[in-house]
Chains A and B, each alone.
Chain A
Amino acid sequence: MNNTEKRHMGLKALNRVSNTGIYILLTVISVVWLIPFVFIVLQSFRVENTYQVGYVIPKQWGLQNYINLWNSDFKRWYLNTLIIALAAAVFQTIIQLCMSYTLSRFRFKLRGPLMRFMLILGMFPGMLTMIILYRVLSDLGLTQANAVPGLILVSVASSGMGYYVSKGFFDTIPKSLDEAARVDGATRLQVLYKIILPLAKPIVIYTILTAFMGPWGDYVFARYVAFGTSAGYNVAVGMYSWLTNDQINRMYTTFCAGGVIVAVPVTILFLCLQKYYVEGVTGGAVKG
């Protein structure tokens, strides 16, 4: 065995050792990342008591927590969130695509100033606007029990600001395609729905998916708008109230059950469309 071969063997052994190390690390990471969710599921089936305890596997299994859920306002909250999410998925997508397509394809005088202006606007904390939006919505009668249309209106209206990711995608579709179609006499509108939209399917799905998932985690504005009226809560605001100091000992396991009911459908949907999400996220970051 000559020297090079020895070195080669050494490298191979080293590689095997480091791969084993990586497998161990990855397994640990996977466990750490999944364990809280496994705990939530396990605790949602615990029926012997309803507060936090020092063990994970229930001593008595049952569906009592899910029955409690069914008898609480949770149904209403779930429906509210679902309606907001569906509406956001439709309207936010339309608005964001209009915005990003225009900024990617057209060159007009105010384009540069407009983009800079929106960049600066984005530096203001969005929370600042809640105070006034709340008062305006309440003048329109869209708060408390009627919070759902109010939340839809606000979340859709400003969604044009989040055009970056999809603009980055449109930028990658060659402009020569547009020009060829224009030469053949197509109007800009025809170019959009006959050529660009079919090519933009991944980003359309990405936009729909993120718009749909957003409302499930929206806490702060939803709480502001629906303040104190259970009928206008979304799942985040409603379930947050279960973990306050005076409720947690009664509602802890119910919260876990609710978490399962909220997370399972969203997660399944997400995993089905994972491919598009990954494309959008990586593309968006590269473009900045």
Chain B
Amino acid sequence: MKQYSDLEYLRLSRWQKFVYKLLSFFSAIPLAIGHFFANIGGWIKKGVTAVADEFKDIGATFIHGDWKTKVSYVVMGFGNLARGQILRGLLFLVFEIVFIIYMITAGGYWMSMLPSLGKLGPTQEYNAVLDTYTTVYNDNSFKILLYGVLTIFFIIALVYTWRLNVKQNKLAEQILKSGKKLKSDKDDLRSMVDEQFYKTLLALPLTGILVFTVLPIIFMILVAFTNYDGTHNGYSNNLFTWVGLTNFNTLFSWQSAGGGQSYSATFGEILAWTLMWAFLATFTNYFLGMFVAMMINKKGIRLKKMWRTILVMTIAIPQFISLLYVSKMFARNGLINLTLLDWGWIKQPLPFWEDPTWARVTVVLINIWIGIPHLMLIATGILMNIPADLYESARIDGANAWQQYSKITLPYMLFITGPYLLTSFTGNMNNFNVIYLLTGGAPTNPAASGAAGSVGYTDLLITWLFKITTGAESQYYLASVVGIMVFVVVAFISLVVYNVLPSIKNEEDFQ
């Protein structure tokens, strides 16, 4: 494609700039991939040297270190204890002891089972006392996978701590040699609320994220490579095991699934609707919300506060009430159809939730009803920040209302809310509540009957994922493949938008 010089670029209109950036992003992709592979060699080399340096340093510290340091290589924290840093030394030592006990009692078993995810499923054993067969539960694939991952985390933590322990010994020796004093326990405690205060503050939130977000996500990514489902729950019926890329092949296969259309066609349809929905939901809300905010903000309009409060009030009402209620209002025998029938305006109930197109349009319209108050609030705050003299000088130059809007208001809004638009787009892609509470994915798509979790025309990827995981035949492995695909799509869109967006701001500018 044609490359513009800086000067030529500045002469382009806003729209041309946008297209130019978009095109240059995509045309740069092959080059970037090329760079990536060309650089791999360099990275590997860098990595190897870094590891080699670490080992060199570990060796050198051992050779040159005193006996306290040498003992610390086996008994972590010994150096700290011997040099009077009781608190640090105890922490190291306790961590090592806990690790050893854990590995002997449990960790070793989980690690050894990880490659097979369990060898023996539940068995029937004869019980002589009761003279019956009872089920005996043996290995548990679910726990093996979970605790196996946890054990790997633990081992990495130990290696890191051990390295830290070696480094501390080296540092302590250096400090003592130069005649300075080591930090006492009291200093350490004080620094926990001072220089190192960030560690204290982050400890709790990060532990939570690690255990309740990172660990589950790693687990679920791994599940995509197993056959974990309702009939292989890893414990009470059958064990599950590694199956490689089979599940990805299933999702992307062109073969008809159970008499219906192929999985890849179903997936493609849902993905297309998900993207279309996210686009419609984001931009209808954005422009209509901005429009409402501008009407309320207009000079000479009275009762501004009242109009705003009316809209804001609807934010407070829990979504499940409003969504469920509205969903039933539009139902076949709901308020709207019954009223229109009573008045004789229609002969047949309108198929709000029965016809695919009707359902999709209705969902988007109701989402406008849900979303506008929010956008109105955001837009109000930004509109009030636009310098008034911009409009004044525009008026003097004879700009009409539309010109003022398209040349001042809109660019300003787009610039400021660029990142918000992105998050709201990806948020809408995963907008479970609106779709599930309104339609539950209905109307059912008969062509996709072969795919897991009855697929409907308004199903997003996220509601499909949910449907796959509930019910007796929950195919967790497929759900986790779908989840990974959602991640890939969201990450790709974010990457493109971040590269095209004008308002990538340096966060330090604000402070």
Contacts and interface: CB of A to CB of B under 8 A. Distances in A.
User: Do chains A and B interact in one complex?
Assistant: yes
Interface of A: 15, 19, 22-23, 25-26, 29-30, 32-34, 36-37, 39-40, 52-56, 95-96, 98-99, 101-102, 105-106, 108, 118, 120-121, 123-133, 135-136, 153-154, 156-161, 171-172, 174-175, 187-189, 192, 213, 216-217, 219-220, 224, 235-236, 239-240, 243, 248, 252, 255-256, 259, 262-263, 266-267, 269-271, 274, 277-278, 281-283, 285-288
24 contacts: A19-B298, A22-B298, A26-B295, A54-B338, A101-B201, A123-B487, A123-B490, A125-B487, A127-B430, A129-B220, A136-B146, A154-B212, A161-B213, A175-B511, A189-B197, A263-B318, A270-B315, A271-B312, A277-B312, A282-B377, A282-B378, A282-B382, A285-B416, A288-B505
Contact of B483 (A118, A125, A262, A282): A125
Contacts of A269: 316
Contact of A19 (B300, B333, B334): B300
Contacts of A19: 298, 300-301
Contacts of A118: 209
A95 B426 CA distance: 25
Given A37-B314, A160-B208, A219-B320, A99 B202 contact: yes
Contacts of A55: 339, 342
Given A30-B311, A53-B335, A267-B313, 20 more contacts: A19-B300, A39-B325, A95-B204, A101-B201, A102-B198, A121-B209, A125-B483, A127-B462, A154-B212, A157-B208, A158-B213, A160-B205, A160-B209, A174-B511, A220-B466, A243-B324, A283-B381, A285-B416, A286-B416, A288-B423
A277 B312 CA distance: 10
Interface string B454-477: 000000011001100110000010
Contacts of B121: none
Contact of A95 (B208, B295, B329): B208
Given A118-B209, A278-B312, A281-B378, A217 B334 contact: no
Contacts of A26: 292, 295-296, 301, 307
A157 B209 contact: yes
Given A187-B193, A286-B416, A270 B316 contact: yes
Given A129-B212, A286-B381, A248 B328 contact: yes
Contacts of B213: 121, 129, 157-158, 161
B377 A281 contact: yes
A130 B217 CA distance: 10
Contacts of B426: 123
A262 B223 CA distance: 39
A235 B319 CA distance: 12
Nearest to B378: A285
Contacts of B300: 15, 19
A37 B317 contact: yes
Nearest to A283: B381
A54 B329 CA distance: 10
A171 B510 contact: yes
A286 B320 contact: no
Given A189-B197, A266-B317, A267-B316, A127 B432 contact: yes
A285 B420 contact: yes
**Main SS class of interface, A:** helix
A128 B220 contact: yes
B502 interface: no
A169 B426 CA distance: 23
Contact of B420 (A15, A106, A288): A288
Contact of B310 (A30, A36, A158, A277): A30
A157 B334 contact: no
A158 B316 contact: no
A222 to B, nearest CB: 10
B83 interface: no
B380 interface: yes
B381 A40 contact: no
B217 A129 contact: yes
A150 B274 CA distance: 31
Contact of A188 (B197, B307, B374, B483): B197
A23 B321 contact: no
Majority secondary structure, B binding face: helix
Contact of B307 (A30, A101, A271, A287): A30
B479 interface: yes
Contacts of B316: 213, 263, 266-267, 269-271
Contacts of B205: 95-96, 98-99, 159-160
Contacts of A30: 307, 310-311
Contacts of B433: 217, 219-220
A172 B510 contact: yes
Nearest to A281: B377
Nearest to A97: B201
Contacts of A187: 190, 193-194, 197
B319 A217 contact: yes
Contact of A128 (B193, B319, B372, B479): B479
Given A26-B296, A95-B208, A133 B216 contact: yes
B201 A220 contact: no
B324 A239 contact: yes
Contacts of A131: 220, 223, 469, 476, 479
B369 A33 contact: yes
A118 B142 CA distance: 26
B247 to A, nearest CB: 14
Interface in B472-511: 476, 479-480, 483, 486-487, 490-491, 494, 503, 505, 507, 510-511
Interface in B79-95: none
B417 interface: yes
Interface string B219-263: 110010000000000000000000000000000000000000000
A121 B214 contact: yes
B373 A33 contact: yes
Contacts of A274: 309, 312
Contacts of A37: 314, 317, 322
A287 B480 CA distance: 33
Contact of B465 (A25, A120, A125, A240): A125
Contacts of A240: 320, 324, 437
A216 B320 CA distance: 8
B381 A282 contact: yes
A53 B325 CA distance: 13
A128 B221 CA distance: 9
Contacts of B483: 124-125, 127-128
A96 B204 CA distance: 10
Contacts of B511: 171, 174-175
A55 B334 CA distance: 10
A184 to B, nearest CB: 14
Interface in B155-208: 190, 193-195, 197-198, 201-202, 204-206, 208
A127 B380 CA distance: 33
A130 B212 CA distance: 10
Interface in B432-453: 432-433, 436-437
